Amino acid sequence: MAFHRHAARPRGAFARGFAPGLASILAAATLVLSSSCSGGSAADAADAADAGDGFAARPLLDVYEAVYALASDYPSLARVDTIGFGASASYPDGDPSLPILALRLAGSDDASLPAAQLVGAMHGDEQIGAEVALALARAICASRGDGTVAGSLLGKMSLSFIPVVNPWGYGADERYDCGGVDLNRNFSWAWSYGAAGAKGTSAMSELESRVLADDAEFMRYALSITLHSGSYCISLPWDYLKTSSGAYDGTDGYYYPGATGYPDFSSSVYASEYSPAQALFEAEGSAYANSVNGAAGTSSFSSTQGGDWYIVCGSYADWLYAELGCPCYTVELDGRYDWTSQALSLRAKVLSAHETALLNLLGSTGTGIHGRVLGESGSPASDAKVTATAIATAASSSRALAAPEPVEYTAFAYSNGEGYYFIALPTGSGPWTLVAASSDGELASKGTDADAGPASQVLVLSAR
């Protein structure tokens, strides 16, 4: 599967549909895995689910069955899409027994709604992310229209849950994919700075990375959350940059010190790219941490910029934000790994701690500036890049700038198949100057000034 930008495909009215071949998937997976691989709240949904032989996370086959069962239980609200396949030694171009499934909830075909994504098990030994994704999806379906936070999400946004991105690693209880590559070091943004080894032979070298990127480019997500374990925090953009100067000496091996173009950590400026949405990220991160600490009765869950925790080059979160303009939050659910051997009681504990925080974070999807891009004929313009530009100064920023002031900073998004766009920015911020440009660069809109808020901003393309 080549890495490419999807041709524009409109998302029409939601229709029931299923990825083909559950029976064949289960039959093939039973053979391959056995030989080659070692209504209510989300917690209530998890309690009602298959216990996975009494452990906190189910075997991969049971995860597949749970995805299809949810779609079967809520046929008017959910469907299953196969967005690709994971690789194995026998099938490096995609193993039919290792599908990567996306559970699309009602609204997923309505292009006028902002799209949100929840991703689990990018690292195969962090299986709890799949359980959280499944339980949350079931809770949202079971609660539709009941006035709760979970019940209010459907109809307000498009929701895609991808419980397992690394199916081979999940089945083998291994962090890496079948080729020994860490998928969260394999994406193209800042990949060249990463240390040799687990990042792969080239950016986007891994089939699973390309599948995830391809789905993101088609769906044009306005928000993404990736679920991990092994620590206890929520990480904000960026992963490859810190917010403090001169404090990082490049010795932990996550990038090559002195690589061309990498920030000079000995300089007096902050080694962080300022984001116009930084205030939004920090507010959402703080709210998430407060919610988890309140639910878990602790004070140990924290919010941090990714690079301040530790430097990661080639992460999915940085690629999403830098290339597509989609903010991505990385949630470390718990300090443990290897969830197929952890006690079942831990599943409910993790879900109880994170459920409300995750629902509220999903509910923030679309915060900022939104609208539609139209062509000269008045028809929707897909794949147009919409930028929001403002002059930022130290007085308006919580961090120093990386160049002489004033500095022009932009936030951006791409329009989806029906021309709708969503740029993440703090509510009330602005004014921002909006400009849309067609994918071929031949057409552009006139500059429009707008504040971030509920008003829809329509931009019309014309010849430059």
pLDDT-derived band at 193 (thresholds 50, 70, 90) equals confident
Residue 356 shares a structural domain with residue 374: no
Q: Evaluate whether 282 touches 219 at the Cβ level (below 8 Å).
A: no
Q: Evaluate whether 369 touches 432 at the Cβ level (below 8 Å).
A: yes
Name the β-bridge partners of 295.
Answer: none
Q: Evaluate whether 126 touches 229 at the Cβ level (below 8 Å).
A: yes
pTM of the model: 0.86
pLDDT-derived band at 24 (thresholds 50, 70, 90) equals low
Tokens of 265: 């950590």
- Domain of residue 382, residue span: 368-463
Residue 266 shares a structural domain with residue 383: no
Tell me, yes or no, whether 7 lies in a domain: no
Residue 145 shares a structural domain with residue 223: yes
Residue 307 shares a structural domain with residue 417: no
- Omega before 238 cis (within 30°)? yes
Q: Which of 57, 70, 62, 52 is nearest to 30 (CA)?
A: 62
* pLDDT mean over 102-131: 94
CATH number, position 380 = 2.60.40.1120
* Distance from C-alpha of 163 to C-alpha of 120, rounded to nearest angstrom: 5
3-state class (DSSP) for residue 208: helix
Residue 221, C-beta contacts closer than 8 angstroms, at least 6 positions apart: 115, 116, 117, 160, 320, 324, 326
Tell me, yes or no, whether 229 lies in a domain: yes
Q: Evaluate whether 298 touches 240 at the Cβ level (below 8 Å).
A: no
Total number of domains in the chain: 2
Residue 154 shares a structural domain with residue 269: yes
Residue 161 shares a structural domain with residue 280: yes
Lowest mean pLDDT among 90-94, 104-108, 221-225: 104-108
Length of the chain: 464
**Last residue of some domain: 318, 347, 363?**
363
Task: Tell me the pLDDT tens digit for each residue of 401-442.
Answer: 344 445 566 789 999 999 999 999 999 988 899 999 999 989
Task: Tell me the pLDDT tens digit for each residue of 339-351.
Answer: 988 999 999 999 9
Bigger pLDDT: 150 or 249? 150
| Backbone CA torsion sign across 309, 313, 315, 319 | positive
